[in-house]
Amino acid sequence: MKHNSVLEVRGVSVRFGGLTALDAVSLTVAPGEVVGVIGPNGAGKTTLLNVLCGFIRPDEGQVLIDGHGYHHLRPHQLAGLGIARTLQGVGLFERLSAIENVMTGANCRATAGFWSALLGLPRSDRDERRLRQEARQALDRVGAGQASDARPGQLPYGMRKRVALARALVARPKLLLLDEPASGLAEGELLELGELIRELAAETSLVIVEHHMDLMMSVCDSLVVLDFGKVISRGSPQEIQADPAVTTAYLGANGPAGE
């Protein structure tokens, strides 16, 4: 049965000792929808993303993917469920080239397995050629094709972010989770990122945690605003901009949204 939501979060709460990081948070993501999660520092945005990735188990509530509930979602299950994520800190393998890093993202679809292909083990040549071709296409798509043979330490931060995004894309996810994809990018790179996100929405759903409000207002179909772990507003970018509760939350915070 086909469901009208790729992702559904139902009443998720997370507590760390006496601190409630998330308080009965709910949201849905439809096929091809770009949903942004914003809020002041410490609002719970990264905690929510970590719940979606299985890094944190909620104390209450449920995460559903294509209508199926996962009470104990684990990070290693993500690829098999069609979910890919980028990290704030990039998270590339320093000893692998850019193209080899991207190839690791397609491991879930490799017949012989990525490491077998990379090490040239028997019956892996065909896999290696296919994975390398797909990785090169992903790098080209994000504008990092020229960096394919370089190691992460040889690349500027903005280029490393592109490689990390290519690694997520090569898995062909139905749900892409982006954790501050615009951090460290120059103005021109932000415009390119916005265009790419809108292109990606034609083939996948996206959840984005980001503090660059101009980017979020331009690429997101809907926004969820967190403050002290609670959803204080949700709606279109225009509705969020006009919501006094959102203005109050930001005026009361020390600095822009982020986490």
**Res. 89: pLDDT tops 70:** no
- Of 114, 86, 85, which Cα lies nearest the Cα of 99? 114
pTM value is 0.85
Give the span between the Cα atoms of 178 and 35, in whole angstroms: 10
Average pLDDT, integer, range 71-79: 74
Domains and CATH numbers, the chain: 1-82+173-259 (3.40.50.300), 94-172 (no CATH)
Give the span between the Cα atoms of 33 and 168, in whole angstroms: 17
Average pLDDT, the chain: 85
Query: pLDDT tens digits, residue range 120-149?
Result: 555 566 777 888 899 999 999 888 899 999
What are the residues facing 63 on neighbouring strands?
9, 70
Q: What is the DSSP letter of 36?
A: E
Query: pLDDT tens digits, residue range 8-66?
Result: 999 999 999 889 999 999 999 999 999 999 998 889 999 999 999 888 999 999 999 98
Give the span between the Cα atoms of 72 and 51, in whole angstroms: 10
Amino acid found at 94: E
Amino acid found at 57: R
